[in-house]
Amino acid sequence: MAPFTYAYLQLKSRGAFSDARQILNALLIEENLSLTEHQDGLDRPLFDNNGVLLPFNALSDGYRAFIGWVWDLLLQMSRVLPPNSAEPQLANLSGVVIVDEIDLFLHPAWQRRVVDQISEAFPNIQFLFSSHSPLVAGTLETQSIYVLDSDDSGAVIEQYNEDIFGLTANQILTSSYFGLSSTRAPDAPQNDLVRLALSDKEEDHQSFLRRMVKDIPQE
């Protein structure tokens, strides 16, 4: 991935900076963050973060990770266009792009909208995103989700019939896609039993006995 300032200078030299900046800022609008036309004393491009001007390396990990790959993509796209095109053209380009861990370092609120944002910004590009985030998965229809697994023969790509669109993170994590039996800490059920056993309340003792009976194997 190209360093941000290098990509910035390349986009400038190709006359694609304004087009690229417009696309990037549209993706950042809900974050109250935007790339400006200003530079600091070291000729580094500056971002406006709620009125504070910051260079790229002063942004949070989440912003740098997201902006970094988007900016690099815009640079690569600009290289297939004639230099100094009169009209903005980046958003009209088509192709296939693979992005690993789209949710990396992103705030949960951003994870819930990032796929839709990217799809709207690049309407003619087919994206293949990998993710371990239930928040990202919950924004997708069943036909858009593929599960990468492995068996004795090697890697396996599957599609499940279970619909998880719009479900909560807990529901998705305990679905067939993630396969967790619970989202609680592994020791939490045992700690619950200890608390019930040591309680002074009769109803807690009854709950403890019911839990113990439930766990007795049936003949």
CA distance 25 to 39: 17
CA-nearest of 73, 77, 76, 69 to 103 is 69
Model pTM score: 0.79
CB 74 within 8 A of CB 90: yes
* Helix H or strand E encompassing 54: strand 52-55
CA distance 162 to 160: 6
CB 90 within 8 A of CB 20: yes
CA atoms within 13 A on the CB side of 8: 19
Mean pLDDT of 94-99: 95
Q: Which range, of 21-25, 33-37, 162-166, 183-187, averages the lowest pLDDT?
A: 183-187
Distance of CA 54 to CAs 46, 68, 204, Å? 5, 15, 56
Q: What is the pLDDT of residues 16-26, one digit of tens each?
A: 999 999 999 99
CA-nearest of 182, 185, 181, 169 to 132 is 169
Q: Residue 114 gets which letter from DSSP?
A: H
Mean pLDDT of 80-92: 78
Determine the pLDDT at residue 144: 96
The helix, strand and coil proportions of the chain, stated in percent and rounded to the nearest 5, come to 45, 15, 40
Q: Is residue 204 exposed (0-12), middle (13-18) or buried (19+ Cβ within 10 Å)?
A: middle
Where exactly are the structural domains of the chain? 1-95, 189-218
Q: What is the pLDDT of residues 34-45, one digit of tens each?
A: 999 998 888 889
Q: What is the pLDDT of residues 104-157, one digit of tens each?
A: 989 999 999 999 999 999 999 999 999 999 999 999 999 999 999 888 888 999
Determine the pLDDT at residue 43: 83
Mean pLDDT of 84-98: 83
199 pLDDT above the threshold of 80: no
Q: What is the pLDDT of residues 100-116, one digit of tens each?
A: 999 998 999 999 999 99
213 pLDDT above the threshold of 70: no
Mean pLDDT of 168-197: 78
